[in-house]
Chains A and B, each alone.
Chain A
Amino acid sequence: EDKVVQSPLSLVVHEGDTVTLNCSYEVTNFRSLLWYKQEKKAPTFLFMLTSSGIEKKSGRLSSILDKKELFSILNITATQTGDSAVYLCAVIAGGTSYGKLTFGQGTILTVHP
């Protein structure tokens, strides 16, 4: 069975801190790993990673994938209160063409002023 595990499950920091969120996976026939941010409603797409070692960056957020060690990290620098959210990692795997996502449990990030 495909498995995606995120750590830590929750994290509390102060504005300006840098955080690193972790995602490890055990899946059959890996295709891609995705990061989403979920606030009060549904998840919003952040990054999609397919190749090892290539950093993807968007403002203060960046992410990288290691396909040998089967994990990814999401970095957020100079955190702001607006970064408070649940960060979800998900993997597309398997032989189906439907692109089904398997989600991790999520990391709850709280940024205090």
Chain B
Amino acid sequence: GAVVSQHPSWVICKSGTSVKIECRSLDFQATTMFWYRQFPKQSLMLMATSNEGSKATYEQGVEKDKFLINHASLTLSTLTVTSAHPEDSSFYICSARAGGGMGNQPQHFGDGTRLSIL
């Protein structure tokens, strides 16, 4: 159980393009989804927290107009990197958490999306 699917797994595109990444919880309803960025040999850096039906909460230093997050249903969240530039190249990972309450449940991660901007 607790499977999270992320798509695509790898994207290469030209500078200026917008890229959409999907994150789906396959066998549970995810009230909260999280988007992370990971640089080589570094740990995960939280970008934003997304609750179904409400606006995402962005971490300090993350541009909300650059990284658009939509969480329209209990099983799907999307991250759109708008007008991507080479410095946006990174490994993006989503996670999903079931249930509400005090948030004390484990997050389950998708397989990540490697984004390369030329």
Interface residues of chain A, those whose CB is within 8 Å of chain B, are 31-32, 34, 36, 41-45, 48, 50, 88, 92, 96-101, 103-106
Cα of A97 to Cα of B104 in the assembled complex, Å: 8
Q: Are B111 and A42 in contact (CB under 8 A)?
A: yes
What distance in Å separates the Cβ of B6 from its nearest Cβ neighbour in chain A? 7
Q: Are A31 and B34 in contact (CB under 8 A)?
A: no
| B100 within 8 A of partner (CB) | yes
Q: Are B32 and A41 in contact (CB under 8 A)?
A: no
CB-nearest residue of chain B to A95: B102
Interface residues of chain B, those whose CB is within 8 Å of chain A, are 2, 6, 32, 34, 42-44, 46, 49, 51, 57, 93, 95, 97, 100-112
Q: Are B105 and A99 in contact (CB under 8 A)?
A: yes
Q: Are A100 and B106 in contact (CB under 8 A)?
A: no
Q: CB-CB < 8 A to B46: which residues of A? A: 100-101
What distance in Å separates the Cβ of B52 from its nearest Cβ neighbour in chain A? 12
Given the contacts A41-B112, A42-B109, A42-B111, A32 and B43 also touching, CB distance less than 8 Å: no
Given the contacts A43-B44, A103-B43, A106-B43, A97 and B108 also touching, CB distance less than 8 Å: no
Q: Are B34 and A101 in contact (CB under 8 A)?
A: yes
Q: CB-CB < 8 A to B97: which residues of A? A: 99
Cα of A101 to Cα of B36 in the assembled complex, Å: 10
Cα of A97 to Cα of B49 in the assembled complex, Å: 11
What distance in Å separates the Cβ of A52 from its nearest Cβ neighbour in chain B? 15
What distance in Å separates the Cβ of B82 from its nearest Cβ neighbour in chain A? 23
Q: CB-CB < 8 A to B109: which residues of A? A: 36, 42-45
- Top 6 A-B residue pairs of the complex, sorted by shortest distance between their CB atoms: A99-B103, A42-B109, A41-B111, A42-B112, A103-B43, A42-B93
Q: Are B57 and A98 in contact (CB under 8 A)?
A: yes
Q: CB-CB < 8 A to A92: which residues of B? A: 103-104
CB-nearest residue of chain A to B41: A108
What distance in Å separates the Cβ of A2 from its nearest Cβ neighbour in chain B? 11
List 21 A–B pairs whose Cβ atoms lie within 8 Å, in order of A's numbering. Answer: A32-B104, A36-B109, A42-B109, A42-B111, A43-B93, A44-B109, A45-B2, A48-B105, A92-B104, A96-B103, A97-B100, A98-B57, A99-B32, A99-B103, A99-B105, A100-B34, A100-B46, A101-B46, A101-B95, A103-B43, A105-B43
